[in-house]
Amino acid sequence: MQAILDLTAQAPHPVYFPASYRTQKELQATGLKLPANVRMVDPIGYEEILALMVNARGVITDSGTVVEETAVLQVPSLQMRRATERPQVYDARSSVKFDPAEPASYPAAAVFRKLESLVGTRWTHGLGDGHASERIAEDLHRRLMTEGFARHRPEHYHVPIERSYRGDGLDG
């Protein structure tokens, strides 16, 4: 956490930090101090976080879901993780990496220079085709009219999902 605080202290813009109550408690318990440019607030709802993201110059997060959403929203992100389950954001060049376990490998000046270079750019991404709500509505309608709300079936998906149905491969 100290590496993250040290990084955000060097952010060229104010940082708005909606923190979970657990995070707030841990910060207090450990005595870690927030940098002067960081404003911590209580947790906020999903609509509020979306409003903040679309109006942000960039988003700093450790969430794989948030970096995916910012890529779709065309907002640059800084992902504070060693590894990601959303490598598409790096493919799209919409996100900057910072590994808090190796802060010396990610100098703050370079990290924020990269993030700033993404502001105002546009990128393509492989994170959906924009028709999810249509598929959801069609699926709900089909279920209401025909088979009810039984378990999902592999043939109902528009993308390959075979890996989701495989066994765990463990002996025993």
Name the amino acid, one letter, at 7.
L
CB count in 10 Å sphere of residue 92: 18
- For residues 14 and 36, what is the distance between their CA atoms, to the nearest angstrom? 9
The answer as to whether 9 is a domain residue is yes
CB count in 10 Å sphere of residue 165: 8
Residues 114 and 154 in one domain: no
pLDDT on residue 169 = 67
The answer as to whether 65 is a domain residue is yes
The answer as to whether 171 is a domain residue is no
CATH of residue 17: 3.40.50.2000
**11, 103, 124, 137 alpha-carbon torsion, rounded to 10°:** -90
Residues 79 and 51 in one domain: yes
Residues 6 and 49 in one domain: yes
Give me the number of domains the chain comprises.
Answer: 2
pLDDT on residue 132 = 84
Residues 84 and 62 in one domain: yes
Tens-level pLDDT at each residue, the chain (172 residues): 999 999 999 999 999 999 999 999 999 999 999 999 999 999 999 999 999 999 999 999 998 889 999 999 999 999 999 888 888 889 889 999 999 999 999 999 999 999 999 999 998 887 777 788 898 899 888 888 886 666 666 777 777 777 666 666 656 6
Q: Which residue has the tokens 């903040």?
A: 52
pLDDT on residue 111 = 94
Residues 66 and 148 in one domain: no
Overall size of the chain counted in residues: 172
Residues 50 and 87 in one domain: yes
- For residues 57 and 77, what is the distance between their CA atoms, to the nearest angstrom? 9
The answer as to whether 172 is a domain residue is no
With beta carbons less than 8 A apart as the criterion, state whether 88 and 125 touch. Answer: yes
3-state SS, 96-149, equals EEECCCCHHHCCHHHHHHHHHHHCCCCCCCCCCCCCHHHHHHHHHHHHHHHHCC
Residues 145 and 94 in one domain: no
CB count in 10 Å sphere of residue 6: 13
Instruction: Say which DSSP state 79 is in.
Output: E
Cβ burial of 57 (10 Å; 0-12, 13-18, 19+) is middle
Cβ burial of 143 (10 Å; 0-12, 13-18, 19+) is middle
Residues 69 and 140 in one domain: no
Residues 104 and 143 in one domain: no
Domain coverage including residue 93: 2-118
Which pair of structure tokens corresponds to residue 86?
């959303």
